[in-house]
Chain A
Amino acid sequence: AQKVTQAQTEISVVEKEDVTLDCVYETRDTTYYLFWYKQPPSGELVFLIRRNSFDEQNEISGRYSWNFQKSTSSFNFTITASQVVDSAVYFCALREGAQKLVFGQGTRLTINP
């Protein structure tokens, strides 16, 4: 069965530090899709990025970057020069087969000024 593990329950850093959120997944499928969502204190879920299993190219979007490694079944998320507005709960999710998503437990990130 598919599974997503976010081992870091909570992370607290000082503003401007770099921080990496880990995501490890398990799946039997050769074709699957990975996602990151952000849940700010207001509670809504905001889509950040998606990655196909056949595309291991890393991606950078401003201060955000994602490192996808099939060899280690990981899809880690790095925030460079963190800001207070980055404080949120971040979820990694896996989809295989139909549109069903399996979420990790989430990592609560707190950026202190």
Chain B
Amino acid sequence: NAGVTQTPKFQVLKTGQSMTLQCAQDMNHEYMSWYRQDPGMGLRLIHYSVGAGITDQGEVPNGYNVSRSTTEDFPLRLLSAAPSQTSVYFCASSRAGPRNQPQHFGDGTRLSIL
């Protein structure tokens, strides 16, 4: 029972490099989202998706792209990494039914941009 799987767990990039953070869930959840966690700021929503082919921006979308070609996968792309994107990234998923459904989180990806 994998739940939400994020890869990689750790990554170091140089400024200007690009990379994709992977997120996969095996619970057939319609809703998926990406958050970043910075000290003293809680978790902030980057992008989210309510189903395959549908994505939308959250609170801090600049510098990030997403796509949702399948129900299971929701990758997050950094096109040109900047030091301000150094953070811990969490992917989450939930059912799209009643709105009190809790979100299930992956274990996070710790990303450092030098």
For the complex, what is the distance from the CA of A7 to the CA of B30, rounded to whole Å?
A: 34
On whether the beta carbons of B107 and A103 are closer than 8 Å, the reply is no
Task: Tally chain B residues at the interface, Cβ within 8 Å.
Answer: 27
Which residues of B (56-83) have their CB < 8 Å from a CB of A?
A: 58-59
CB-defined interface of A76-113 with B at 8 Å, one 1/0 digit per residue? 00000000000000010101001111111110000000
- Indicate if A64 sits at the interface (CB-CB under 8 A): no
Contacts A35-B102, A47-B104: A99 and B31 contacting too (C-beta < 8 A)? Answer: yes
On whether the beta carbons of A44 and B105 are closer than 8 Å, the reply is yes
Q: Which residues of A contact B35 (CB under 8 A)?
A: 101, 103
CB-defined interface of B29-50 with A at 8 Å, one 1/0 digit per residue? 0010101000011111100101
For the complex, what is the distance from the CA of A106 to the CA of B102, rounded to whole Å?
A: 18
- CB of B59 to closest CB in A, whole Å: 8
- Give B residues with C-beta under 8 Å from A: 31, 33, 35, 40-45, 48, 50, 58-59, 88, 90, 92, 94, 96, 99-105, 107-108
Closest 3 CB pairs of A and B: A103-B42, A45-B105, A47-B102
